[in-house]
Structure 1
């Protein structure tokens, strides 16, 4: 028996396009001799549909296409995820998050998701009712169990759906899980460990099918796979791109230590030679490229404009944009002020030349003079301060937004997570734009990305990476005049934002208490900026945005 694992990239609500894509994949699997094809969670509507699930017209359009799809399925079995209306008299929510097995024009088996995540970016109990315990099913002589995403991640819940599925039932040949599991740096190792442990615990092979593609701030990485009873990799699909993986289930379920060693010795299949997917800076780059490309294309944009400062953040953003969109679709603009060093302009131009993208130079000194003249009588007798620095950032933001409007390009903001955390950014200035590509990338990781991008040659001029970072908004300015070094700042931010540690616990790690208190104070008082920031791509376990819900106004200092 052959099974196809189909990880496809969806756009929420494009029901007809999804139906055609699914049918296309089904035909491809049939031609390859497959008996069953498996798609990800909520694949027909796209994940996460959020409050669209509250619109009757959305559900009606979904069910219409689902019925058409069911009627089109012939001898091959099709497993896919759908929102399913509850029938009859009931209490609670009106939908299940379900998985259906379709065969010969009808639904022959269904399960409902039992564990509904409500942490971080998830809010499934807002829409779905937990399903009842699942039952195994038989198909083409194999007895299998079907689960949905969170149901194999039971550590946060008092109930374990897999254990319940296996209890009091005939032994299974295989476990299937359909998922829409978003990426963050560290997730691949976490997921691999969990899936391997699950196989060993229950002495079962596992088939795991994950969504791929960018959806708003979320990035789904794919990496669908099959594991044997010992939790070792049998086969894996590609990461961060659409792919169909075809596996021989008989070989998977009968796999022994002897046959596994023989496979490794033959080294015939590259996908079987490698181990489970692991995290790396290369994966972060792939995630950001996918998230950037999908956000622009799915919102109808094909070109991007970027303000190049000569610093590392805008350089890395420019590289990601050219990888995602092609250099012909990227315009880089240097906007020097009287405080901008000549080497910043030179490095920005050299970067654009290396990338092969468009480049323009727009000095902002004339605009600064006009602003100064207009405000002179009001500012008379007052020393220059951050006000004048912010004006420079806002002049740049206005010019870049003008280019965005005129040419139909999306402005990409270039600020990193470290700056966003402590408010080292200007509202309506460098925060202007439609997508914040690096908003969840700490500064130290930005440098890692820059070095990775230069692995085959100097794409980013070396001086951009090695010179001290500076906003260049006043003479001889450097980031470290106002902030601790990023090698100190980033671990404190990670401990507070991602690990939720207290001031005392962070200080116990060896950081100065005054530094920790100052950083956390800055995080707290700059919440209002982050609430007005553009959407950012999520690549850490706790990003600013939908998954971090803090009040702007509160008095808790710790």
Structure 2
């Protein structure tokens, strides 16, 4: 059987635009010989629609749009991811569903059973799960073939694959009891680095377990802090991979599960995945938010340089403006490196010295500061002056301000709220400092040698006081990032991290910084999720608390 995989990049809430995109992909797949076409999960609304689902008018409009789209579907059925009102009068008001559209109408509705409520997922807030014993309704007929339909999480609870399961119920097991000829899965599975290997291993194991070919259709593109990498795939009844759609790109692929199809070449290295996710996430956030251009403060350091090259790749050189704001503490080398970077990239550079503005600030504050020694207050004023200038340029030119802080800085608060944290999108906020160095070197080797070597090799510095270095305030980044990874991504306590081999006083100091910086992260711009646990919707620490860890 030939199944059309519609791997698309929807915009959340754009029902009309998403429907048009789905219709065009459906027609392309039918022309390619598809006997059934399948979208990703919630393709019509875009994923995740979040609190849009609390508005009954949106849910009703989504259902109406599904019916309108179904009216254009011919003899080849379309499984369309969407939402439908819960008419039972019990439970949550909405179902996450797949509409079976054919011959001009919605012929059947399949409801999602397992609703994830971990990490970035909060589906139980909105959706009612499919009723118990719904396996019969999760089967469709296409000609003489019987197809089991699952929606994302419904395929992720196999008791023989996972050591521990999130749910007691396994929809796939119930469907498999009906001996389907094929299993399809409509998915909106956001990226974390290395996730595709897990997906393919798990889905292949399921296909092999039930001796049933399986087709997995994933969303592609960036929505808010999430990036969906696509990479839809198919497996034969032995669990062998027979097809894979491209990563980080839209695609319409017609697959025959039992035959070897096109398996798109891919680079699963950490740097390649990070690079493509940053580019797609930045491009989609800027464009889906209604912007075309971006502005970046360029310091001469590696973080702002990496942010600039991502922005140029995502938006084009003509749509990126970099601003140099040297202070009396800025080195000539940093200024020269910044200008060299903008020349290499072919982007506009604006220079706005902040020395005179600093003098005015210090003069105004001289009386209330009398008798008080200079400290980080004066350093932060410099950062906040720069933040004001950048926001002014953003407002005047309708260019989205991209912040340049990395995950290490955000974790320990080595950043200035209302200063360098100002902006609309934090491009590298889930890339730690050691990752920034690795990705910058990878970029120069694989994309273009545009980042000056001096930026990569010089010791990191905020340049807010004479001869300042990051390591004056922080442990070496390889130590800092090791501690942070154990604490943030592996949920280790202070005692456990020390037992892993780190110096006790260093661990105590670092975790103290993490606790104290929580209020800054709560006010930070959204960024792109790359790791299993990033700062953003998946990080839900209390603000006013004491953490006995």
Range class of TM-score, shorter chain: over 0.9
| Equivalent residue runs for 1:467-478 within 5 Å | 467-478=458-469
| Equivalent residue runs for 1:19-168 within 5 Å | 19-88=19-88, 90-132=89-131, 133-135=134-136, 136-154=139-157, 155-167=165-177
* 1:274 shift after superposition: 5.2
For residues 19 and 333 of structure 1, the distance between their equivalents in structure 2, rounded to whole angstroms, comes to 40
1:190 matched residue in structure 2: 198
Q: In structure 1, which of residues 219, 233, 241 is the aligned counterpart of residue 241 of structure 2?
A: 233
Is contact 2:29-2:253 (8 Å) kept?
A: no
Is contact 2:151-2:186 (8 Å) kept?
A: yes
For residues 367 and 194 of structure 1, the distance between their equivalents in structure 2, rounded to whole angstroms, comes to 58
Is contact 1:19-1:65 (8 Å) kept?
A: yes
Q: In structure 1, which of residues 526, 535, 545 is the aligned counterpart of residue 536 of structure 2?
A: 545
Is contact 1:521-1:557 (8 Å) kept?
A: no
Is contact 2:380-2:416 (8 Å) kept?
A: yes
Do the aligned partners of residues 126 and 25 (structure 1) sit closer, same or farther apart at CA in structure 2, a change above 3 Å counting? same
Q: What SS does the aligned partner of 2:13 have?
A: coil
Is contact 2:244-2:263 (8 Å) kept?
A: yes
Q: In structure 1, which of residues 311, 324, 327 is the aligned counterpart of residue 317 of structure 2?
A: 327
Q: In structure 2, which of residues 321, 329, 341 is the aligned counterpart of residue 351 of structure 1?
A: 341
For residues 238 and 454 of structure 2, the distance between their equivalents in structure 1, rounded to whole angstroms, comes to 49
Is contact 1:10-1:43 (8 Å) kept?
A: yes
Q: In structure 2, which of residues 370, 390, 393 is the aligned counterpart of residue 400 of structure 1?
A: 390
For residues 201 and 500 of structure 2, the distance between their equivalents in structure 1, rounded to whole angstroms, comes to 27
* 1:2 shift after superposition: 2.0
* 1:229 shift after superposition: 2.5
Shifted more, 117-126 versus 12-21: the winner is: 12-21
2:161 matched residue in structure 1: none
| Equivalent residue runs for 1:106-505 within 5 Å | 106-132=105-131, 133-135=134-136, 136-154=139-157, 155-167=165-177, 169=178, 171-248=179-256, 252-253=257-258, 271-272=262-263, 278-456=268-446, 457-505=448-496
Q: What SS does the aligned partner of 1:220 have?
A: strand
For residues 463 and 41 of structure 1, the distance between their equivalents in structure 2, rounded to whole angstroms, comes to 46
Do the aligned partners of residues 428 and 24 (structure 1) sit closer, same or farther apart at CA in structure 2, a change above 3 Å counting? same
Is contact 2:33-2:254 (8 Å) kept?
A: no
* 1:273 shift after superposition: 7.6
For residues 367 and 65 of structure 2, the distance between their equivalents in structure 1, rounded to whole angstroms, comes to 66
Q: What SS does the aligned partner of 1:536 have?
A: coil
For residues 144 and 270 of structure 2, the distance between their equivalents in structure 1, rounded to whole angstroms, comes to 40
For residues 44 and 274 of structure 1, the distance between their equivalents in structure 2, rounded to whole angstroms, comes to 28
The alignment's C-alpha RMSD in Å is 1.5
* 1:458 shift after superposition: 2.1
Do the aligned partners of residues 404 and 235 (structure 1) sit closer, same or farther apart at CA in structure 2, a change above 3 Å counting? same
For residues 329 and 354 of structure 2, the distance between their equivalents in structure 1, rounded to whole angstroms, comes to 11
2:521 matched residue in structure 1: 530
* 1:188 shift after superposition: 1.8
Is contact 1:187-1:279 (8 Å) kept?
A: no
Is contact 2:244-2:264 (8 Å) kept?
A: no
Shifted more, 317-326 versus 397-406: the winner is: 397-406
Aligned length: 537
Deviations 1:201-228 (A, max 9, x none): 2222210000111111111111111122
**Unaligned 5+ runs, structure 1:** 256-262, 264-268
Q: What SS does the aligned partner of 2:268 have?
A: coil
Q: What SS does the aligned partner of 1:331 have?
A: strand
For residues 280 and 526 of structure 1, the distance between their equivalents in structure 2, rounded to whole angstroms, comes to 28
For residues 418 and 265 of structure 2, the distance between their equivalents in structure 1, rounded to whole angstroms, comes to 47
Do the aligned partners of residues 464 and 273 (structure 1) sit closer, same or farther apart at CA in structure 2, a change above 3 Å counting? closer
Shifted more, 60-69 versus 338-347: the winner is: 60-69
Is contact 1:102-1:108 (8 Å) kept?
A: yes
* 1:108 shift after superposition: 3.0
1:512 matched residue in structure 2: 503
Provide TM-score, normalisation by structure 2.
Answer: 0.95
Q: What SS does the aligned partner of 2:510 have?
A: helix
For residues 285 and 273 of structure 1, the distance between their equivalents in structure 2, rounded to whole angstroms, comes to 18
Is contact 1:188-1:279 (8 Å) kept?
A: no
Deviations 1:410-438 (A, max 9, x none): 11000001000000000110001111111
* 1:192 shift after superposition: 2.1
For residues 273 and 408 of structure 1, the distance between their equivalents in structure 2, rounded to whole angstroms, comes to 38
Is contact 1:213-1:220 (8 Å) kept?
A: yes
Deviations 1:103-154 (A, max 9, x none): 1123333321111001111110111111133233221222221100001111
Q: What SS does the aligned partner of 1:68 have?
A: helix
* 1:477 shift after superposition: 0.7
Give 4+ residue runs of structure 1 displaced > 3 Å after superposition.
271-275
Shifted more, 391-400 versus 25-34: the winner is: 25-34
Shifted more, 28-37 versus 381-390: the winner is: 28-37
For residues 68 and 187 of structure 1, the distance between their equivalents in structure 2, rounded to whole angstroms, comes to 35
* 1:280 shift after superposition: 2.6
Is contact 1:422-1:523 (8 Å) kept?
A: yes
Is contact 1:189-1:279 (8 Å) kept?
A: no
Is contact 2:246-2:264 (8 Å) kept?
A: no
For residues 530 and 366 of structure 1, the distance between their equivalents in structure 2, rounded to whole angstroms, comes to 31
